[in-house]
Amino acid sequence: MILEIKVPSPGESITEVEISSWLVKNGDLVKKNQVIAEIDSDKATLEICAEESGMLIIKAKKGDILKVGEILCLIDTSFSKEKSDLIAPSTIKILNQYKIDKKKIISTVKKTKNKKYYAIKKIPSMGTKNLINRSFDITKLSKLRRKLSERLVSVKNETAMLTTFNEVDMSNIFFLRKKYKNLFKEKHGVKLGFMSFFVKSCIIALKKYPDINSMIDGENKINFKYYDISIAVSGPKGLMVPVIRNADTLSFRGIEKTIKNLSNSIKNSTISIDDITGGTFTITNGGIFGSMLSTPIINPPQSAILGMHNIVERPIVKLGKIEIRPIMYLALSYDHRIIDGKEAVGFLLSIKESIENPIKNLIGSEENLKNSFELK
């Protein structure tokens, strides 16, 4: 029996995908539910699994663009390990139909490599008269990367984007994490990270400055009454932005667990379209890579994004005295068409107040600490 494996629909509004990789070779014997390929849409990378066991007949190569519903490959379910050196009559028929050489099915298909091009010429910028042999690789951008490029360019061209900055003293957050991180990890199985504090601080600030939790739709402005916070996460296929739904209803534990689950889904390429769709405001943390300061680009159609950065001990003045404190620079990029500078500055000041005084602004009181971290 010949089984057709067709391109599934990754999600609403997506009509075509690109084959990003084949994890098996033409002619291989595959098992039911084995991951055989990965496909890229303009929103996510998805895995394709074998629906039955049998011999694989590949119909489209890496880099091909296919429409949803088109045939990706075939599986001859009549094949078994015991008869792997034979080709069933039904397979011969299908091979002839698609003009596939049966010798290529039995033999091992060699892996293709990126072509290398060589140029021998003068390099004036290097200040040498010698001929230099230089090589380089040419690889096609993935559909995901191409779509990301288009979106980033469109943001710069279609929004009036500005960025404002501030700094925040992380001393009190350091103190709380040091005191409770082991208990938190033991109780909940996740780390008490910085992100949950910033998510909660952003929600407080978004409630004070609702235009930052909004978007432009034609001639209208939409103000969201809920708080779906997007978190930028670096994965094997590039930057992705999964969403913490109704973040205002979650505890510290709930936020940290949600972030961990979404990050694992990205690393394992099991993230769904729903997980990365929507979002009313974004937080990105370049600090994990060592970034001191940046101007993050708005995640459309949102109107603002908060950039976190690395934490560095810096000398600051406290009550007339110089002290060494762990300082993080914050950046808020915003669409000036609907967000005024006063609101943007006030938003960052609100976050600064929450982070520098977490017990008062995020937790309520010292007596409520263990309740907030759900340690009782």
**Residue positions annotated with a catalytic role:** 336, 340
CA angle 231, 237, 240 (to 5 degrees): 15
Strand order in the sheet with 29-30: 2-6, 71-76, 54-58, 29-30
List of long-range contacts for 213-221, beta carbons under 8 Å, 24+ apart: 213/280, 213/281, 214/280, 214/303, 214/338, 215/280, 215/301, 215/302, 215/303, 216/301, 216/303, 216/335, 216/337, 216/338, 217/301, 221/338
| Six-digit token string for 335 | 């669409």
| Six-digit token string for 347 | 């938003």
- Let me know: does 88 contact 41? Beta carbons within 8 Å: no
**Whole-angstrom distance, CA of residue 252 vs CA of residue 364:** 14
